[in-house]
């Protein structure tokens, strides 16, 4: 299974390594670095890289590459899912998963990796179980450990490990019983020059934060469950009930967890929430170019589009820009040729626009192609696919919990071609 794990930062330095079966030389990462050099973007590094004696399987999260070394053939998605689980665990323990946070808590990191894999095979990946095995670091605990020489490793086996519900510890008690669910959808789309949709799909997740006393049994039903394709569940979900009735029935883990992830790929179900009017022109033999861009909301079900950020990689021949935004601020880096426009919230009554001219190198030929425009945005209290939770019921306990559901849509890879 997994022999070694290397953590590589954005500079290409290996800042942490862990070996389970046998020590694999760092030189194996040279194949990864070669693939990294060939990739145009950091996220374009191939997730699976075969080498003469190993396979390198990697994920990029928070500008850190998590590179697993495998000696025999295994399902790549199995390893990729485990690597994502490692990142989520680090985030849960340290608040953020950055190089600095990992270096500051390096002892806890090694303890976690030792528990999450046993001889290269996944063992304990549930946050509840890990938190009973290894206490999350706090300032007080760090000081005590430094003085006494003790560790964060617990002395008893987690109670959940011995039960039929290994993801939930026994004897959970809360003063305030509450269950919150976040439906978060990310839209990936490519829009052509005329404004037609070339491709559009939605990746969605339902994240939960459940703090309930005892051993509650929850059911969650949707208004339109048939929208969901390619659904991936947390192990707590009873799959047969979902197949038969399209209802989620589960005993939840304690705390934060991802209940399910789903995919909506039918073009007619994916509504594009923003439109872009653009006019980017370069004239042959001229040292000036024209840049005009206007954004507007399209199908947002009456919800505001906010946190809008527009970026575009301009051609190499552009020396500088002279642009005026009607809203927000813009920057242009003459070295990388990256234009960024921080729009903020779109006001439908007064649409934001960015207009002006671009200075080109004298005598340079007209650029071969127009730049593409990448857009980031968020829409609060709206799920673009139209997915809606119908009701949430609890069985097995007598108290009445507080329940809350929040929706959010955000842009993934949203690209407009000009």
Give the whole-number percent of the chain exceeding pLDDT 70.
Answer: 92
pLDDT digits (tens, 9 = 90+) for 190-229: 999 888 889 999 999 999 999 999 999 999 999 988 888 7
Residue 376 has pLDDT above 90, yes or no: yes
pLDDT digits (tens, 9 = 90+) for 259-304: 999 988 776 678 889 999 999 888 777 778 899 999 999 865 678 8
Q: Binning pLDDT at 50, 70 and 90, where does residue 318 land? A: confident
* pLDDT of 128: 77
* pLDDT of 152: 65
Least confident of 166-175, 200-209, 376-385, 387-396: 166-175
CB 292 within 8 A of CB 323: no
* pLDDT of 144: 59
If you average pLDDT over residues 11-28, what whole number do you get? 92
φ, ψ (nearest 5 deg) of residue 262: -145, 175
CB 307 within 8 A of CB 377: yes
pLDDT digits (tens, 9 = 90+) for 386-412: 899 999 999 999 999 999 999 999 999
Residue 158 has pLDDT above 90, yes or no: no
* pLDDT of 33: 94
Give the whole-number percent of the chain exceeding pLDDT 90.
Answer: 59
| Four-way CATH pick for 176-268+383-414: 2.60.40.1170, 2.60.120.200, 2.30.30.110, 2.40.420.20 | 2.60.40.1170
- Write the CATH number of the domain with boundaries 272-378: 2.60.40.1170
pLDDT digits (tens, 9 = 90+) for 336-364: 889 999 999 998 889 999 999 988 887 77
pLDDT digits (tens, 9 = 90+) for 81-127: 999 999 999 998 998 999 999 999 998 999 999 999 998 898 888 88
Domain ranges of the chain: 1-146, 176-268+383-414, 272-378
Domains 176-268+383-414 and 272-378 fall in the same CATH topology: yes
* pLDDT of 303: 84
| Four-way CATH pick for 1-146: 3.90.70.10, 3.40.50.620, 3.20.20.70, 3.30.450.60 | 3.30.450.60
Residue 150 has pLDDT above 70, yes or no: no
- When the pLDDT of each residue in the chain is averaged and rounded to a whole number, the result is 88
φ, ψ (nearest 5 deg) of residue 150: -85, 175
If you average pLDDT over residues 116-144, what whole number do you get? 79
Residue 162 has pLDDT above 60, yes or no: no
């Amino acid at each position: 299974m997994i022999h070694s794990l290397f953590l590589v930062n954005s500079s290409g330095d290996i800042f942490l390594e862990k070996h389970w079966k046998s020590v694999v030389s760092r030189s194996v990462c040279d194949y990864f670095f070669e693939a990294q050099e060939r990739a145009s973007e950091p996220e374009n590094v191939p997730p699976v890289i075969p080498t003469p004696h190993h396979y390198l399987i990697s994920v990029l999260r928070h500008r850190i590459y998590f590179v697993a070394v495998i000696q025999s053939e295994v399902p790549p998605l199995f390893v990729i899912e485990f690597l994502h689980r490692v990142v989520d665990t680090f985030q849960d323990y340290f608040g953020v998963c950055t190089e600095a946070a990992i270096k500051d808590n390096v002892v806890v990191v090694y303890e976690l990796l030792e528990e999450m894999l046993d001889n290269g095979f996944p063992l304990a990946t549930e946050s509840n179980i890990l938190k009973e095995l290894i206490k999350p670091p706090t300032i007080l605990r760090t000081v005590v450990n430094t003085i006494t020489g003790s560790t964060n490793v617990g002395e008893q086996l987690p109670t959940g490990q011995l039960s039929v519900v290994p993801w939930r510890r026994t004897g959970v008690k809360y003063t305030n019983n509450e269950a919150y669910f976040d439906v978060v959808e990310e839209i990936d789309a490519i829009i052509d020059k005329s404004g037609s949709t070339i491709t559009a799909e939605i990746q969605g997740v339902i994240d939960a934060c459940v703090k309930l006393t005892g051993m509650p049994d929850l059911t969650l039903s949707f208004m339109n469950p048939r929208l969901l394709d390619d659904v991936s569940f947390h192990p707590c979900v009873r799959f047969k009930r979902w197949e038969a009735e399209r209802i989620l029935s589960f005993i939840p883990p304690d705390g934060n967890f991802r209940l399910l992830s789903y995919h909506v790929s039918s073009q007619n179900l994916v509504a594009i929430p923003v439109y872009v009017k653009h006019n980017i022109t370069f004239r042959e033999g001229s040292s000036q170019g024209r840049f005009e861009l206007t954004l507007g909301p399209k199908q947002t079900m009456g919800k505001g589009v906010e946190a809008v950020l527009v970026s575009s990689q301009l051609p190499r021949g552009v020396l500088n820009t002279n642009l005026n935004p009607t809203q927000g601020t813009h920057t242009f880096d003459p070295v990388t040729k990256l234009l960024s426009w921080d729009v903020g919230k779109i006001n439908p009554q007064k649409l934001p626009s960015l207009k002006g001219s671009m200075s080109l190198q004298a005598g340079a030929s007209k650029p071969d192609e127009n730049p593409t425009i990448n857009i980031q945005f968020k829409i609060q209290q709206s799920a673009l696919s139209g997915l809606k939770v119908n009701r949430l019921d609890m069985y097995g306990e007598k108290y009445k919990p507080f329940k809350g559901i929040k929706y959010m849509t955000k842009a993934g890879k949203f690209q407009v071609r000009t």
